[in-house]
Amino acid sequence: MKSNSIAIVGAAETTEMGLIPNTSQIMLHADAALNAMRDAGMKPGDIDGVACAGEVPTAVAHYLGIVPTWVDGTSVGGCSFMIHVRHAAAAINEGLCSAVLITHGESGRSRVGAGQYRGGGRSSLAGQFEGPYGVMGPTSMFTIPFLRYMKETGTTLEHLANVAVVQREWAGLNPRATHREPISVDDVMNSRMIAYPFHILECCLVTDGGGALILVSAERAKDFPQKPVYILGTGESVESPMVSQMDRFESSRAFKVSGNKAFEEAGIKHADVDHLMIYDAFAHLPFYGLEDLGFCKPGEAGDFIMERNTAIGGKLPVNTNGGGLSYMHSGMYGMYALQESVRQMRGVAPAQVKDAKISIAHGVGGMFAASGTVILSNQEF
C-alpha cells in the first residue's frame, strides 16, 4: 500500500468481553461495529466497504443496513483482519469505496449462533495426511514445531513459561483482561500439561467477543472525532494449510514475508518501533514473531523476553493488553491485537506506553498457515 495514505478513524471492541452467553456471533460483529461507528461519529449510510471473517460480508452488511460498493471476505484465520486493513487501504486508494468497516465477532466459548469451523473434511489433504493421527485442534498441532525450535536454538521450557508470566504482568494493568493475578514460572510449569511441552497457562484463552475498525483516506481523517491512527505499512502472506508441511519449524516463512513487506512499505527501522503486538495463540508465538520480524536474531527471543525487554518498563513493550494468553482469545484474535495498537497510538491504552509513536500488530492465521502485519502511527510522516 501507499504509506501514510489511510487512517483508522473508528475502533472499538464489543461492549462485553469474555463470557457473553446472551449474544449470537452475528450480533457480536454488529455490537462491535455499532461501537466503532459511534467512536467515529458515523452511521451505516456513511460506510461503503465491508470486510469480515467468521461471518461473510453479505451477512454483516445486511444485518447492519450497509450498502457496500466493495466487500472482502478473506478468511485465513486470526490474521484476516490485518489483511483486511491492507486490502481496504488498496481499495480506498483505488477509489472502490471511501469508508471501510472491518468486523470480527466470535462466540468462541458460548458457541451462540456460531458456525462450524470450515475444513476440507476427510478428503482434504489435511484430512488425509494429518487427521488420522489423533490431532485435536490447535493445542495438538500449532505446538508441534516447538521442540524442533528448542533443539535448533537452545531455548528452554523456562523461556516458554516466562512468556506467560510477562504477559500476565501486562494483563494486571488491564481491567478488561480475563486473568489479572500474577503468576510465576513455577506456576506455569506446574499447571496442567495439555500437549507436551505446553501447559495450559501457555495456551490461549477461549472466550467470546469482537471488535471493529473503520478506515478512510488520510486526508479525510482529521474530520473525525478521534485522533487518527495512520497506516504506515502492511504485509500479508500464506504458507501451508498443514502444519506438518511448513518449510522449517524454527521459523515461519509467512511471518517473514509479511513482516518484510510491511517494513518495506513503511520505510522504518526496527529501532523506530515503540510498541509491538504479536498474536500469541500459544506462548511460543512471540519467539517466532520477534525473530521473523527481525527484532531478535534467530534463537535470541527467549533471552530477550527473559531480560524483560518486552515487559513493563522494557525497551520494546509487547502484547501490552495481556495477549491471547491473559487478555482474551475468541478464536481469531488478530482484531484484538489491532485494537490494542490503536489504543496505544491514541494514547488511551490501560497500560499506555509513554510517547509511543509507532506500533506494529502482527498476526498469524491457522497454524503458521497465514500472516498479516500492520504498522501504525499517530504521526503523519
Partner 1 sequence: MADQSKLPLPVPTPETQHFWDGTRENQLLLQSCDGCQKTYFPPRPFCPACASRSVSIIKASGNATLYSYVINQRAHPAFDGPYAIAVVSLEEGPRMMTNIVNSPQTPEALVLDMPLKVCFGKVDENITLPYFEPAGDEL
List of residues contacting partner 1 (CB under 8 A): 121-123, 125, 127-136, 139-141, 143-148, 151, 192-198, 242-245, 249
- Using DSSP's 3-state secondary structure scheme, residue 373 falls into strand
By C-beta, is 198 or 288 nearer to partner 1? 198
- Give the nearest distance from C-beta 133 to partner 1 in angstroms: 5
204 φ, ψ (degrees, to nearest 5) = -70, 165
- Give the nearest distance from C-beta 125 to partner 1 in angstroms: 5
C-alpha cell at 19: 463470557
Cα distance between residue 338 and residue 277, in whole Å: 8
By C-beta, is 98 or 139 nearer to partner 1? 139
Contact 258, 235 (CB under 8 A): yes
By C-beta, is 193 or 348 nearer to partner 1? 193
- Give the nearest distance from C-beta 127 to partner 1 in angstroms: 6
Contact 373, 362 (CB under 8 A): yes
Distances (CA, A) of 187 to 69, 147, 170: 52, 21, 17
- Give the nearest distance from C-beta 243 to partner 1 in angstroms: 8
By C-beta, is 142 or 304 nearer to partner 1? 142
By C-beta, is 146 or 170 nearer to partner 1? 146
Burial of 116 (0-12, 13-18, 19+ CB in 10 A): exposed
- Give the nearest distance from C-beta 365 to partner 1 in angstroms: 20
- Give the nearest distance from C-beta 192 to partner 1 in angstroms: 8
- Give the nearest distance from C-beta 275 to partner 1 in angstroms: 32
- Checking phi first, is residue 101 left (phi over 0); if not, alpha (psi -120 to 50) or beta? beta
- Give the nearest distance from C-beta 153 to partner 1 in angstroms: 13
- Give the nearest distance from C-beta 359 to partner 1 in angstroms: 32
Cα distance between residue 265 and residue 325, in whole Å: 30
Position of cell 517494513?
Answer: 263
Cα distance between residue 327 and residue 177, in whole Å: 4
By C-beta, is 250 or 265 nearer to partner 1? 250
Contact 244, 148 (CB under 8 A): no
By C-beta, is 117 or 196 nearer to partner 1? 196
Q: Provide CB contacts within 8 A for 186, sequence distance 6+.
A: none
By C-beta, is 65 or 119 nearer to partner 1? 119
11 φ, ψ (degrees, to nearest 5) = -155, 130
106 φ, ψ (degrees, to nearest 5) = -150, 120
By C-beta, is 134 or 313 nearer to partner 1? 134
The DSSP secondary-structure symbol of 282 reads: B
